Amino acid sequence: MIVGAGVGGLAAALCLHAAGFSDVSVVETAQELRPLGVGLNILPNAVRVLHELGLERALSANVIATRELALYNRHGQMIWNEPRGISAGHRWPQWSIHRGHLQSVLASAVRSRLGPESIVLGARLLRHRLSSTDEVTLELQCRTTGSVRSTEADVVIGADGIRSAVRAGLYPDEGPPPGNGMVMWRGTTWSEPFLTGSSMIVTGDDRHRVVLYPISRDPRSGRVLVNWVAARPAALGDPLASGDWNRRVPVSKVLEHFGGWHFDWLDVGSVLAGAGEVHEYPIVDRDPLPQWTFGRITLLGDAAHAMYPMGSNGATQSILDAKVLAGALADGDTPDDALRDYQDQRRPVTAALQANNRRMGPEIVIDIAHQRAPDGFRNIEDVIPAAELAEISAQYAMTGGFDVAAVDGQPRVNIRTQAKSRQI
């Protein structure tokens, strides 16, 4: 049983099915799966998994294959530029995609492959415990009626996000997710293409940051739907505890701080101003855990390793968790051994990324450029040597496992061909 029907939970259900497990259920607190959220960037190592699951056609019809990542200072001067995805030599692209589109395709595939009742909505997890027979007992509350029922599962996977009920049951004294004092606004805007038309840009200084990248394209007009994120230190009195994706604010709140950002090659303020709606929430994460797996209960995705939104690794690492977990369960002698193996493979990788993202990930070069040349520069190599820039980029790619050698150097294995009927 998977708790949570987000990207990680649904990807786990599909990977388990591809590995031969047919008795898989996903329970979700929400009473309906609505296409919430805005844009996501999925790195090639996770796009490879989605391809192996046979989702390429359904997903690629409404995505942008990112061609480059470009980092700029507050004055619109380029600090660093690197090709991404196919342009970087990968066999798989890097995708910029609407979260709602990705979740909808995953959910449809789960229902098609595992049955229409495989996703149970409106079911809130109250508590869980490991029984003497090695099964896990869960108490689920129906959000419509308030009634509570008990159910059992051989394995429970907590994929229920940064405020995970499964994690809270394992670590009851942990408390709320810590923040870094920054507030973030997110939105989407239809706009004319910029740079390559498939570029992801990050611009700012050591206190203010704007990220923009297109997530879909109108074939008739050529305009693109731009996903954008603007962040700055929170003002005194701003709420910083909720981490709520759905707190709507007027766009004027963002324009107060970023409306005047205008470069020769892009009017950032105008892009932000064109958003239909804006969501505000604090930048929060979770401290790395010493242990994810307790008997036949384990964690996945943000429930295991929520990290600051740097470097496009949130949803990416959740999808990678899903594949490793399914492979471990398919190959393991016992569920207990398999879940420990999954934890041992994934926990060090994600803990390193959590720590790196707290140091701003690859975007640290924007901070360095501002600290060394706050008024701008004529030549970036006078400020940051090219070798230093390249080393920062390469080290982050290796930490995240999305360098070309890590992604493309492995034998191509289609997990669908491994499927055989399995029970735990």
Tokens of residue 351, six digits: 């803990």
Q: Which of 52, 66, 44, 50 is nearest to 101 (CA)?
A: 50
Tally DSSP H helices, then E strands, for the chain.
13, 19
Instruction: Decide the pairing of beta strands 39-42 and 64-65.
Output: unpaired
Give the mean model confidence (pLDDT) for residues 240-256.
Answer: 77
Tokens for 338?
A: 């398999």
Which tokens go with 260?
A: 């005047």
Mean pLDDT of 57-68: 95
SS (H, E, C) 233-271: ECCCCCCCCCCCCCCEECCHHHHHHHCCCCCCCCCHHHH
What are the pLDDT digits (tens) for 166-222? 999 999 999 999 888 899 999 999 999 999 999 999 999 999 999 999 999 999 999
User: Radius of gyration of the chain from Cα atoms?
Assistant: 21
Encoded tokens for 353 = 């990324």
pLDDT band, very low/low/confident/very high, at 160 (cuts 50, 70, 90): very high
Concatenating the DSSP letter of every residue in 310-374 gives -TT-HHHHHHHHHHHHHHHHHH-SSHHHHHHHHHHHHHHHHHHHHHHHHTTGGGHHHHHHHHH-T
List, for residues 346-365, the tens digit of each pLDDT value: 999 999 999 999 988 889 99
CB 136 within 8 Å of CB 153: yes
Taken in order 27, 33, 36, 41, the sign of the CA dihedral is: positive
Model-level pTM?
Answer: 0.94
Instruction: Note the pLDDT of residue 11.
Output: 98
For residues 312 and 85, give the distance between their C-alpha atoms in angstroms, rounded to a whole number: 13
Query: Which residues contact residue 320 at a Cβ distance below 8 angstroms, ignoring those fewer than 6 apart?
Result: 45, 46, 49, 346, 401
Dmax (CA) for the chain in angstroms is: 69
Q: What is the pLDDT of residue 240?
A: 55
CB atoms within 10 A of CB 262: 11
C-alpha dist (Å) from residue 221 to 150, 179, 191, 246: 53, 41, 10, 30
Q: What is the pairing mode between strands 179-191 and 278-284? A: antiparallel
- How many Cα atoms occupy the beta-carbon half-sphere of 381 within 13 Å? 3
| 210 three-state secondary structure | strand
CATH class of the domain comprising 2-176+286-410: alpha beta
Convert the pLDDT of each residue in 380-423 to its tens digit: 999 999 999 999 999 988 888 888 888 876 655 445 444 444 54
pLDDT of residue 366: 96
First to last CA, the chain: 12
Instruction: Tell me the residue type at 295.
Output: G
Query: What pLDDT was estimated at residue 315?
Result: 95
Tokens of 5: 């029907």
Cβ-in-10-Å burial (0-12, 13-18, 19+) of 26 comes to buried
Over residues 15-39, the mean pLDDT reads 91
Edge-first strand order for the sheet with 78-83 is 78-83, 68-73, 199-204, 209-217, 224-233, 179-191, 278-284, 248-249
Q: Quick count: other Cβ atoms within 10 Å of Cβ 383?
A: 21
CB 204 within 8 A of CB 74: yes
